[in-house]
Structure 1
Amino acid sequence: METRQADVSIPLQSSGWGSAAPGPRADPPPRDYVLWSLLNVVLWCAVAGLGCLGFPPLVYSIKARDCKLLGDLEGARRHGSRARVANIICSVLVTLVLVVFIIIIIIIFMTTMLENP
């Protein structure tokens, strides 16, 4: 009498409540960073009246949103990444300008306090 070994398959992933069924992974939709761009425009307008320095990220953000709505996901990713880089640069610059402005105000205040005791 020959004994046959049963075919046993062991799943590599647990089939508990938190696991999802394996399947094709969809790439997340590209981001457009419109709110961050608007914040940069408002900050540049508030800091020195130089709102024009915040417009390039806003333009790239709007282009990314338009491409996403038209279905051009590659164009949306390209413009979205440009908007992200431009927003990072604008945010760093506006932070530096604010810090320098605060330091200058503190120096002026301290010198006037030392001259007029």
Structure 2
Amino acid sequence: MNPPDYPTEDVPLQGVNYGGLPIQPAVVQQTAVNINTDVPVIIEYPQDHIIWSICCFAYANPFCLGLAALIYSIKARDRKVAGDVDGARHYGSTAHGINIAATIIAAIGFFIFIIIISVIMAQAPSYY
């Protein structure tokens, strides 16, 4: 849109002669890009927490909770491969809860162990 107080005239570009060489008008190529606005539906697959379950099984396995979490994680992965999203979500959430319980119990046990060792080391010189 041009302001109304300015005159609008079309002036053709002409080749100008600079030192004997005429300037040719430039050819402009335009490229059109089509952007697809249809967003594909992304299926959110549930997590199976297999790595966390392996760590709980190998490093902190209180009351065999790490083994139970590993079994549920493997079941969740099998359900996910089979295409049963609801079953994979159920087994994955169960494995997640068991992993949380195993991690908390192992952390509390580790801290109690550290406190007991430090108390024994602090009182050891008084016995000698």
| Fold shared by both chains (TM-score > 0.5) | yes
* Offset, 1:28: 1.6
How much is the aligned-residue C-alpha RMSD, in angstroms? 1.9
Q: For 1:85-104, what aligned pairs fall within 5 Å after superposition?
A: 85-104=97-116
* Offset, 1:44: 2.3
Q: When the two structures are aligned, how many residues end up with a matched partner?
A: 93
* Offset, 1:30: 1.1
- What does residue 10 of structure 2 align with? none
- What does residue 121 of structure 2 align with? 109
Q: Deviations over 1:15-65 (max 9, x none)?
A: xxxxx94535423211111110010011125xxxx5723111111100000
Q: Deviations over 1:66-89 (max 9, x none)?
A: 101111111001100111111011
- What does residue 53 of structure 1 align with? 65
Q: For 1:4-43, what aligned pairs fall within 5 Å after superposition?
A: 21=37, 23-43=39-59
Greater helix share, structure number: 1
Taking structure 1 as the reference length, the TM-score comes to 0.71
Identity in percent = 35
- What does residue 80 of structure 1 align with? 92
**Structure 2 portions without partners, runs of 5+:** 1-35
The one of the two structures with greater contact order (alpha-carbon pairs below 8 A, sep at least 6) is 1
Taking structure 2 as the reference length, the TM-score comes to 0.65
**Structure 1 portions without partners, runs of 5+:** 1-19
In the alignment, the residues of structure 1 paired with residue 69 and residue 100 of structure 2 have an alpha-carbon distance, to the nearest angstrom, of: 9
